[in-house]
């Protein structure tokens, strides 16, 4: 059999995988056969290239008022894909509070909502934690109830004893809340009164609050102070802080007449000031009353300020550019007074003076000067603010002044011994944390591992040590001039501590599931507790379980821990060993290394 010479039958099929036409075959049969082959080939190619479309899912539910269970219409609900937070979608709840998101790929979605009268909140939020919505096969992401806590508010008026509004008063709001496993009163925000003496704190979460007010009487006439003349000192026997009342501002002169504080006080009946006042109208923080704010309600808190005669003082400090700060501590929050000034006397001396109400104050004096620091073989010249002195000052209404030096300054420096180089441009630092101080204190680590904390930045007390931006974890702390317990150091007044911190690269991560009776639990507080919790507060890690019961604890320092999951545990003072101990027996023992660990934990 030979192949046909008909060019129409020569399809160059050999090169395309088809047999050539046979000589003498009917043309219709040949064309039909080719058509069927091509059709099958095309269908085969389509089946090979087509992939099944990914299955899509939905998140749906209703937004309700957490205080009344009424539906919240017009709430803006937003979801963000946790693998790519830039992928965001929004929906607005209808008259029944209902919302929905469709065509979602499997994964986890962070969900937030806000509405008129409701501040922005995460789904099932507690503190800074919330539950992500898990979407996928066999997961329930529909019919959710998003309970929004309605905002509360505190408003009021500040007046003086004559009933006149106090303008430009600073109203300080403090909020009692759980923070780092301890309940305490923390500064929340500040409001300055308007021309009518009004203030209004809005968008407050339900809870307990306290208020403090600082202000100056508009009619006050606080005469400038002057340095004590030799005649003053001869009468008062004062070369340090003292009561200096009024008088013309003039340079010291040995021929000046002695000043009579009583006579000058009579000449200045308006030499007065407002002491810090707490709601309801007390100057003692211990007697401040709690203002209870409930969701959706407004609480009124009016205060009346009473002016008192001022106490004048003067202090000399070394350093012509000295700066003075005079502050009072209010619920562990430092409030600096404004009616204090300083002036240069000569190139080496500055005078600090003020007219303030009687009370207990902390006086700090700072000066700018050059200091030479040596780090390894390099000399670093730096300009910095350093406190020259700090002291506690008590000024009584009877004109008595007593001072006592504040606790001697503590200095801390050291070196981090790393087995690998720090990440470039990481701004890695050693941080010291104290639970009663809002912000940790940081010292940057240089390229040789050295660090120095700014002078005057550290008060005596117990601090917890950890690394920031170092991609490493602390293995060991050795100290000269300080006492070490776990990850904490104890610093006494006057200590000059030098720390040697041994660090190793890498951190751990725990991915797990919180279970109760074999079923996943959403919204549980997940807590990773180190041994000797009191000495290792910075090793704790927390999370909130998502809707599928899963959780992630990142940045875990490798070591042995107890893993806990506690239902409704958000009001638990877990930093208190006496409170935590009963839960440890029901936890899961786990050893974490560098990398990812898997775990299951029973919800208590």
What tens digit of pLDDT does each residue of 251-265 get? 334 344 444 444 444
**How many alpha carbons lie under 13 Å from residue 55 in its C-beta half-sphere?**
7
Do residues 604 and 583 touch, judged by C-beta distance below 8 A? yes
Token readout for 82 is: 């946790």
Helices (H), 291-414: none
What tens digit of pLDDT does each residue of 436-457 get? 776 789 999 998 999 999 877 8
What is the model's pLDDT at position 341? 58
What is the model's pLDDT at position 318? 56
Token readout for 180 is: 């780092």
pTM metric for this prediction: 0.76
What is the model's pLDDT at position 398? 55
CA–CA gap between residue 509 and residue 131 (Å, rounded) = 18
What tens digit of pLDDT does each residue of 278-296 get? 999 999 999 999 999 999 9
CA–CA gap between residue 470 and residue 417 (Å, rounded) = 12
Reply yes or no: is the peptide bond before residue 280 cis, omega within 30 of 0. Answer: yes
Q: Per-residue confidence at 23, pLDDT binned at 50, 70, 90?
A: very low
User: What's the DSSP call for residue 23?
Assistant: T
SS (H, E, C) 394-436: EECCCCCEEEEECCCCCEEEEEEEECCCCCCCCCCEEEEECCC
**Total residues found in the chain within this entry:** 604
What tens digit of pLDDT does each residue of 127-186 get? 999 999 999 999 999 999 999 999 999 999 999 999 999 999 999 999 998 888 988 898
Cα–Cα distances in Å, from 182 out to 178, 257, 330, 331, 535? 5, 58, 18, 15, 15
Residues in a beta bridge with 412: 497
* Mean pLDDT computed over every residue of the chain: 80
CA–CA gap between residue 352 and residue 340 (Å, rounded) = 7
What tens digit of pLDDT does each residue of 27-57 get? 443 434 444 544 544 554 555 556 677 789 9
Do residues 330 and 101 touch, judged by C-beta distance below 8 A? no
Do residues 479 and 487 touch, judged by C-beta distance below 8 A? no
Q: Residue 24: how many CB atoms within 10 A of its CB?
A: 8
Q: What average pLDDT score do residues 503-512 get?
A: 95
CA–CA gap between residue 319 and residue 342 (Å, rounded) = 11
Q: Give phi and psi for 529, each to the nearest 5.
A: -110, 130
What tens digit of pLDDT does each residue of 472-482 get? 999 999 999 99
User: What's the DSSP call for residue 233?
Assistant: H
Which comes out higher in pLDDT, residue 326 or 402? 326
Do residues 421 and 394 touch, judged by C-beta distance below 8 A? no
Nearest Cα residue to 216 out of 311, 324, 305: 305
Do residues 146 and 61 touch, judged by C-beta distance below 8 A? yes
What tens digit of pLDDT does each residue of 540-572 get? 999 999 999 999 999 999 999 999 999 999 999
CA–CA gap between residue 98 and residue 74 (Å, rounded) = 9
CA–CA gap between residue 153 and residue 202 (Å, rounded) = 5
Q: Is the pLDDT score of 59 beyond 60?
A: yes
Which comes out higher in pLDDT, residue 234 or 69? 69
* Range among 178-192, 346-360, 417-431, 546-560 rated most confident: 546-560
Q: Residue 69: how many CB atoms within 10 A of its CB?
A: 9
CA–CA gap between residue 244 and residue 140 (Å, rounded) = 74
Report DSSP letters for 55-114, one per residue.
Answer: P-EEEEEEEEETTT--B-TT-EEEEEETT-TT-EEEEE--TT-EEEEEEEPSEEEEEEEE
Cα–Cα distances in Å, from 129 out to 114, 301, 519? 16, 31, 21
Which comes out higher in pLDDT, residue 366 or 470? 470
CA–CA gap between residue 592 and residue 590 (Å, rounded) = 6
């Amino acid at each position: 059999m030979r192949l046909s010479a008909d060019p129409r039958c020569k399809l160059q099929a050999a090169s395309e995988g088809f047999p050539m036409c046979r000589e003498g075959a009917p043309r219709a049969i040949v064309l039909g056969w080719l058509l069927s082959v091509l059709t099958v080939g095309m269908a085969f190619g389509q089946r090979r290239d087509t992939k099944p479309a990914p299955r899509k899912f939905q998140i749906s539910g209703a937004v309700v008022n957490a205080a009344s269970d009424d539906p919240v219409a017009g709430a803006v609900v937003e979801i963000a894909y946790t693998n790519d937070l830039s992928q965001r979608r929004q929906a607005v709840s209808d008259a029944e509070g209902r919302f929905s998101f469709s065509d979602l790929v499997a994964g986890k979605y962070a969900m937030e909502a806000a509405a008129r009268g409701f501040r922005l909140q995460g789904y099932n939020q507690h503190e800074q934690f919330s539950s992500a919505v898990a979407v996928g096969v066999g997961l329930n992401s529909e019919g959710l109830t998003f309970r929004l806590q309605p905002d509360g508010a505190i408003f009021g008026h500040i007046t003086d004893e004559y009933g006149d509004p106090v303008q430009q008063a600073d109203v300080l709001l403090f909020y009692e809340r759980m923070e780092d496993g301890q309940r305490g009163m923390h500064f929340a925000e500040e409001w300055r009164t308007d021309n009518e003496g009004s203030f209004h704190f809005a968008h407050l979460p339900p809870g307990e609050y306290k208020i403090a007010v600082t202000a100056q009487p508009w009619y006050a006439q606080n005469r400038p102070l002057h340095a004590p003349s030799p005649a003053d000192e001869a009468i008062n026997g004062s070369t340090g802080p003292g009561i200096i009342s009024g008088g013309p501002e003039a340079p010291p002169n040995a021929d000046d007449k002695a000043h009579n504080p009583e006579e000058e006080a009579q000449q200045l009946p308006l030499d007065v000031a407002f002491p810090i006042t707490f709601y309801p109208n007390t100057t003692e923080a211990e007697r401040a009353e709690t203002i209870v704010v409930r969701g959706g309600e407004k609480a009124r808190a009016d205060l009346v300020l009473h002016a008192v005669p001022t106490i004048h003082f003067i202090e000399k400090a070394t350093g012509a550019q000295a700066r003075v700060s005079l502050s009072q501590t209010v619920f562990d929050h430092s409030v600096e007074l404004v009616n204090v000034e300083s002036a240069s006397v000569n190139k080496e001396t500055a005078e600090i003076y003020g007219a303030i109400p009687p009370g207990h104050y902390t006086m700090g004096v700072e000066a700018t000067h050059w200091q030479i620091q040596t780090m390894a073989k390099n000399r670093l010249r730096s300009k910095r603010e350093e406190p020259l002195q700090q002291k506690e000052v008590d000024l009584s209404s009877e004109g008595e002044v007593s001072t006592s030096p504040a606790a001697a300054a503590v200095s801390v420096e050291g070196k981090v011994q790393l087995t690998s180089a720090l990440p470039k441009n990481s701004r890695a630092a050693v941080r010291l944390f104290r639970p009663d101080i809002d912000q940790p204190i940081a010292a940057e680590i240089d390229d040789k591992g050295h660090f120095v904390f700014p002078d005057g930045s550290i008060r005596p007390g117990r601090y917890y040590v950890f690394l920031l931006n170092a991609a490493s974890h602390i293995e060991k702390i050795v100290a000269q001039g300080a006492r070490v317990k776990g990850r904490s150091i104890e610093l006494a007044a006057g200590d000059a501590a030098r720390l040697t911190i041994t660090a190793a690269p890498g951190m751990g991560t725990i991915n797990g599931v919180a279970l109760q009776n074999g079923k996943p639990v959403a919204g549980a507080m997940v807590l990773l507790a180190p041994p000797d919790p009191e000495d290792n507060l910075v090793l704790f890690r927390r999370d909130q379980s998502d809707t599928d019961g899963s959780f992630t604890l990142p940045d875990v320092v490798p070591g042995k821990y107890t893993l806990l999951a506690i239902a409704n545990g958000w009001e638990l003072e877990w930093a208190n060993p006496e409170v935590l101990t009963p839960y440890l027996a029901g936890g899961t023992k786990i050893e974490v290394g560098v990398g990812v660990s898997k775990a299951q934990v029973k919800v208590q």
